[in-house]
Amino acid sequence: MPLIDNAVYVDGVRRAEPASLDLTYDVLRAEHGMAWIGLYRPDEDEIASLQDEFGIHPLAVEDTIKAHQRPKIERYGDVLFTVLRPARYIDSEERVEFGELHVFTGPDFVATVRHAEAPDLVKVRGRMEAAPELLALGPQAVLYAILDEVVDDYAPVVAGLENDIDEIEDELFASTSAVSRRIYDLFREVMEFQRATRPLLDMLDLLKTGAAKDGGATDDELTRYLRDVHDHVVRVVDRADAFRALLQNALTVNATVVAERQNEEMRAMTVSSLEQNEEVKRISAWAAILFAPSLVTGVYGMNFEDMPELTWAAGYPLALALMVAGSVTLYRVFRWKKWL
């Protein structure tokens, strides 16, 4: 069901757990507290109900229905619309899975719309209910807790990416074609991770200074909590930047290694071709040397009657001498040309 958890709080304490959105609105008006509504992949009717009750701007509603938004924080009157990109590292597949979370905060309500499994907002709600003095600070305190959970969930992602990069560095000089693909895929994941985390710096700056709050500065205690989340985001962003630089270097080194390997193969092929050429020269030279006496014997083997050499007493020795002289001459010529 789209409605995952739903409660009305007064002074940081849970007072009611209405079974529907309409009942939540009625209890909220009666108790004058804060409603915290948790939705998971709601349909347009649930979103329209929130819009009618809390006056959410149509542009924010459109973004929520369509999803696939980048991290951002926007104010529409007294309603703050926040988009977050939670992430989790799937160790069995060695990849990062990115989700999307929309948070509407107004003067007396918080509505979360999840489009993925992460983050675990049940844990966030339990943590805030265990600290009623913090929950009593209102919707912005809930927004802080959600931001803190999303940023904390980035830690396993950073560790997983770091482990993958270490493995790539070990495989970089190995003779495997899968390394290039793995580097490229990991580089894309790091870029996506940067797009999910870097905007949080400006978003938290706005929340800390109160620029995102309608009508005043953020509570001092809440500002301290937001500053702590900001520090964590800075560390995550720095690590992501370092990962991107390492992978860029790995891509360059891998391209160099591949080019060197190809050059070695070309050199080996060239050497092999030259050796084959030398062998062909030797074979051709010996074939020519053997062809010279074969030519003489072939001529005399025709046995024509009008061959005066057949009646010469010196004909046979002369033919042998001619065959030897021809072969020796060719041998010397090929030696001089370094074919032999």
Q: Does residue 212 lie in a domain region?
A: no
Distance set, CA 91 to CA 161, 166, 294, 320 (Å): 10, 15, 77, 85
How confident is the chain (340 residues) per 10-residue block, as mean pLDDT?
81 89 89 90 88 91 87 91 92 87 93 84 91 91 94 94 85 70 87 94 86 54 90 95 88 74 73 74 76 72 65 72 77 75
| 169 in a structural domain | no
Domain membership of residue 218 (yes or no) is no
Coil, strand or helix at 177: coil
Q: Give the model's pLDDT for residue 328.
A: 79
Distance CA 172, CA 320 (A): 68
Task: In whole angstroms, give the CA distance from residue 287 to residue 240.
Answer: 69
pLDDT in tens, 88-109: 998 888 889 999 999 999 999 9
**What length is written for the chain?**
340
Where is the domain boundary, 82, 108, 125? Answer: 125
Report the pLDDT value the prediction gives residue 309, as an integer from 0 to 100: 67
How far the first Cα of the chain sits from its last, in Å, is 88
State the pLDDT at residue 105: 94
Of 57, 91, 125, at which residue does a domain stop?
125
Of the residues 82, 105, 125, which one is the last residue of a structural domain? 125
pTM > 0.85: yes or no: no
CA 143 from centre of chain:
29
Return the pLDDT at 217: 44
Quote the strand ranges of the chain, DSSP E. 3-10, 13-16, 34-40, 72-76, 79-84, 87-90, 95-98, 101-105, 109-114
Count of the separate structural domains present in the chain: 2
CA distance 8 to 104: 15
Tokens matching residue 312: 């010469």
Confirm whether 167 is domain-assigned. no
Return the closest-CA partner of residue 204 out of 173, 234, 248.
234
- Tell me, what's the pLDDT at 302? 66
Please report the pLDDT score of residue 193 as a whole number. Answer: 94
Residue 186 falls inside a structural domain? no
Question: Can you tell me the distance from the alpha carbon of 249 to that of 32, in angstroms, rounded to the nearest whole number?
Answer: 58
Number of CB atoms found within 10 A of residue 62's CB:
10
Judge whether 192 lies within some domain: no
Q: Is 101 helix (H, G, I), strand (E, B) or coil?
A: strand
CA distance 97 to 104: 23
Token pair for residue 266?
A: 């070309």
Classify residue 134: in a domain, yes or no.
Answer: no
Q: CA dist 243 to 86, 131, 153, 161, 329, Å?
A: 19, 37, 18, 8, 72
The boundaries of the domain holding residue 86 are: 1-125
The CATH number assigned to the domain holding 105 equals 3.30.460.20
